[in-house]
Each structure stands twice: as structure tokens, then as C-alpha cells.
Structure 1
């Protein structure tokens, strides 16, 4: 099951939502960057209108985004991110390192449909957002641009 209560960042009591550590994410990214010899260009820890943190990295000549859900230790990799369409990809060398710290979602998991069983795990506030935004898949819930 990929969806859990609070994963969207919406709740009746935001104070009860656990937050992933920005400092720890940054430290882990730098450790892995040194190990795999890639550059980190920037981090985005703002949560206005979205529910995830990101690191923009340069691997060879490719720009890749490492996304971390702000409330659960769940990571995905993307070629591009935008409010209308994130383009996800599987990167084995990154997965092999980040799996030591986080749950890695594959493109197949991200593109899977939201099941009724998963909806039952979300709180009422999240279900209202789901009804309003109508995400196409699990990725649209775990890495969302809802305000």
C-alpha cells in the first residue's frame, strides 16, 4: 500500500503530521553525490502549494530531480517537475543508494491507479482534495501541487 494518512500534507491538525528532515535529506544527498560523483545544483524545501522537497542534481549531462515526500520517507526520481506533469524515471544507481534511507517508488508504482483500499487510508481532508484535484495516479497524490 503506497498511500497513508497524511501523505498529501492535508489533515485536520497539521501539527500532528510528521515532517521529514530537510537537513537529513540534504546530508544524504551530499553523501550519495560524493559516492557516485555527481553534482547537486540546488534544493527546494518550500512547501507552498506542494507536499514534497526536491534536490536538483546533474548526473553526466542530465538534470534529474530527487523528490522526497515531506511527510513520509518516500522518494522518486524525475526528469522534469511541474504543477501539471512530473516526468518520472527509474535510476538504478540512485535507487541502490537511496534505498538505504528511504522507500523508492518505481515509475510503475507511481503510474498505478489509486485503489479504493488506498483511499480508505486517507483522512477526510485528503479525500476532499482527491475529489477536487482528481489525480490520475498514485504519483499525483504522493507528490502533489495542491494548495
Structure 2
């Protein structure tokens, strides 16, 4: 029963603060507006953890976020926030480098998108993002 209650509370948070709950393959993730404060990110993460079982039961009703869509969203964030960069890891994959002034919401948004983007992000040259 707690998972249903958390689901309804999470729905309210999504409507009020612009948080998006999406499915990406088998994952259920929250995508936060970059300006959301750290306390709301923590609160929403707790609700998501509590609601995960009821959300998983209705996974087909959640919007699907494809890797290409996530890479496009990261490109948009990079256009708006010039301090966000990616570096190459030892295996050639890209890892986010966040500006020191970023909030928890900004970091959590890019982290969620980065997890979904996966190989699509590695294939993106970021040529459309001006330095």
C-alpha cells in the first residue's frame, strides 16, 4: 500500500515541479528540471524508490525515453549551460563533468539522461554544440 501512496505523491511532485518519470529499457528513471533544488530532488528520489514496484507493474503506461532522445536532451542542456562537459573514460565512453556551481537537480538530470543515452552519447560528436 505504501507504494501506491508514494506513486500518488510522486505524481503530485511531477505535476508541480516538472519532474518526468520515464522508462528506458528495463529502468524507471526520474528526469528533473535543471533548476530543481536539492531537497526536492532528494524527496522525489525517495518517492521513486518507494513507488518503484507499482510503477514497474504499469511500466507500459510510462513514456519511453530512447537513447537518441536522451542524447538530444543532453545536447540541449549543453547549449543552455556551457559549463557542462564530457570526458572520455579508459574504455572510450563519455563521462559527465559538472560545473561546480550546479545544483543536485541539474546533476541528477544529466545523470539520468547519461544512463539512458549510453552508446548513443558515445556516438555523438557534439558538433552541434558550440563551445
More strand by share: 1
TM-score (norm 1): 0.29
Q: Which has the higher helix share?
A: 2
Please report the TM-score for the alignment, with normalisation by the length of structure 2.
0.31
